[in-house]
Structure 1
Amino acid sequence: MLRLRNFKQEDKTLLVNYLNNPDVKRFLSPKIPSPYTINDARWWVEEGSKVGITRAIEVDGQLAGSIGALPGQFEYAKSAEIGYWLAKEFWGKGIAVKALSALFNEVQLNTDIVRLHAVVFAGNTQSIKVLEKSGFEHEGLLKKAIYKQGTFCDAGVYGKIIN
């Protein structure tokens, strides 16, 4: 069973394990520290995950990843950028699509946000499939928009109107 919940102190060890897996962090923002330490996990649980609508993805009682919607400001106040990641052992099971659906419901019930968007590393085909299965449309390609570990990557922009 999948549910979204707030992060807990007990999640710290799994966060460190999951976010030090090269396959998991390959397409994650460089704002996530690498290597990921217990102090990073402590900050995330106590502070970082309190921004926007940020939730732990729990599957059958175990932390499986993270998902969130960060509302925009000013002229973007009715939009939010979404992001998510899953631990590798949870890949390929439809969990991200279900988590996105649960996040949509929470956003619709508790906010006045009408548009969600995601920015995806070019080449992250699995995430693109998740977004497309969730009703997102490809809206554009930002060339050399991402700089990570000394390399530029293009970024795909995907959007969905939810209200």
Structure 2
Amino acid sequence: MTLSIKISHSKFPSLSLSPLVLDDASEMFVHLNDEETIKYLIGPPYPITIEQIRAYISSRPLVNGQASTFAIRDQNRMIGEVSLVPKTAAGTYELGYYLARPYWCNGIATAAVKTFLNEIHVDKNTRIEAGYLADNIASEKILLKSGFTKIGYEQRAKNGLIYQGVKMVRTTVS
């Protein structure tokens, strides 16, 4: 981990962001096999194997030549993830994040998302999209506090079932 970005947080002073690396796979395996932690995540299968996690980490794209998937760390231990992935429309990215359950309800995800969005280098007038399952009130609060605006609803498929999702957007002008 050559790059580390401090996350300002009064209760957890050793929080940071740094690029996700293969050494994070074992922590991620524990997080993503916790049914409560992943119940609002659309992407990963449940249960997930360590091989699937390693493949995921190895496949993460770069944005403008830099890492775009970061581990949220407490005392250098991975406790979550935040990422920005290019979409097919030029200048459009999708934000994703999760936090391990033992760290919920402390403002860590909000602090991590805000820090990440302030530090990641994207072009002017970049559109960043994010979404959440409609009953995930915590994600709604995180995104609103991070400058996102609700723009509509969408159907999301997860494990063969269809869920109501909410779509949000933030446009950078810096």
CA distance in 2, matches of 1:141, 1:8: 33
Residue 4 of structure 1 is aligned with which of 17, 22, 43?
A: 17
Aligned twin of 2:98: 85
Aligned twin of 1:106: 119
**2:122 corresponds to which letter in structure 1?**
T
* Ranges in structure 2 where 5+ consecutive residues have no aligned partner: 1-13
Q: Does 1:149 align with 2:159?
A: yes
Map 1:10-159 to 2 at 5 A. 10-29=23-42, 31-45=43-57, 47-52=58-63, 53-73=68-88, 76-107=89-120, 110-112=121-123, 114-142=126-154, 145-159=155-169
CA contact (8 A) 1:104 1:162 kept: no
Q: Does 1:162 align with 2:172?
A: yes
How many angstroms does 1:51 deviate by? 5.0
Can you list the C-alpha shifts for 1:36-93, whole angstroms capped at 9, x where unaligned? 1111222123x133455111111222101111111223xx211211010010011111
- Residue 112 of structure 1 aligns to a residue whose secondary structure is coil
* Ranges in structure 1 where 5+ consecutive residues have no aligned partner: none
Change (3 A) 1:63 1:19: same
> May I ask how many residue pairs the two structures share in their alignment?
155
Task: Compute the TM-score of the two structures, normalised by the length of structure 2.
Answer: 0.81
Greater per-residue helix proportion: 1
CA distance in 2, matches of 1:148, 1:79: 23
Aligned-residue RMSD, C-alpha: 1.6
CA contact (8 A) 1:64 1:86 kept: yes
- Residue 157 of structure 1 aligns to a residue whose secondary structure is strand
CA distance in 1, matches of 2:144, 2:122: 23
